[in-house]
Amino acid sequence: MAIITGGAGGLGSAAARRLASEGATVLIADIAVDAAEKVANEIGGGASAVHLDAFDPASIKAMVDTAIERYGRLDILNNNVAHTGGTGADTTVLETSIETWDQSFAVNVRSYFIATKYALPHMLKNGSGSIVNIASDSGLGGDCALVAYGSSKAAVVNFSRYVAAQYGRQGIRCNTICPGPIATQALREHAPETLKSTLNAVYVPQLGEPQHIAALVAYFSSDEAAYTNGAMISCDGGLDAVITPWMAQGKLMN
């Protein structure tokens, strides 16, 4: 049985569908509960939805409680919900407000911690479990914008390692996926020019799709990953393989 937070979004719904196709029963948690119910109805097979406000610890606890009430156990937690701060709100250290910083960490880090905190007792009772956290390539290096988002995603990577270190010997694995630019339906509809520039930037001849991330969620959740714990995979079309564009072009700086 799997919980997918942010399960109504592009990456979350793809993960829910992939896990269901592999035989998991899924609980799709999202603040947009109507959209989550639509995804659950499309999946069928016992899939269901629950409202989740990632800013509210009580809502996160209720999500886990609902999973146990409906299904009796919890095997997989895919922390997928994210907060990006809004257009123009998350930029540089001087320009980004303390409120924007706190909001990013509340959703992108604190909600992962709280969901994990409430999921762990049920996984420990079973003697096994897989937690898959979605971070971002923005958490692997600096940039000229998104200081709050990128810093929060860096925290997710190391939080996953702490969970792996503290509970791995008790059968709980915790791994991280760092997506790069992904062609979600929302981007296709609202930012097609961004997708064109993205294709020019990556080092593969195609755009990343939600199913590429979903495949990694399925792998980390499976018995095939039984010896994979505390790992981080960057799924970004090769962006993380190149240090900087100017170095890729041989234009070394003094």
What is the rounded distance in angstroms from the CA atom of residue 160 to the CA atom of residue 148?
19
> Is 203 an annotated catalytic residue?
no
Alpha carbon of residue 22 to chain centroid? 19
Q: Looking at this protein, which amino acid is placed at residue 64?
A: V
What is the rounded distance in angstroms from the CA atom of residue 241 to the CA atom of residue 216?
18
Q: Looking at this protein, which amino acid is placed at residue 89?
A: A
Task: Calculate ∠ Cα 192-194-139, nearest 5°.
Answer: 135
What 3-state DSSP class applies to 119?
Answer: helix
Which residue is catalytic, options 71, 112, 118, 149?
149
What is the rounded distance in angstroms from the CA atom of residue 172 to the CA atom of residue 126?
10
Read off φ and ψ for residue 188, nearest 5 degrees.
-60, -35
The token pair at 122 is 């049920």
Catalytic residue ranges: 149
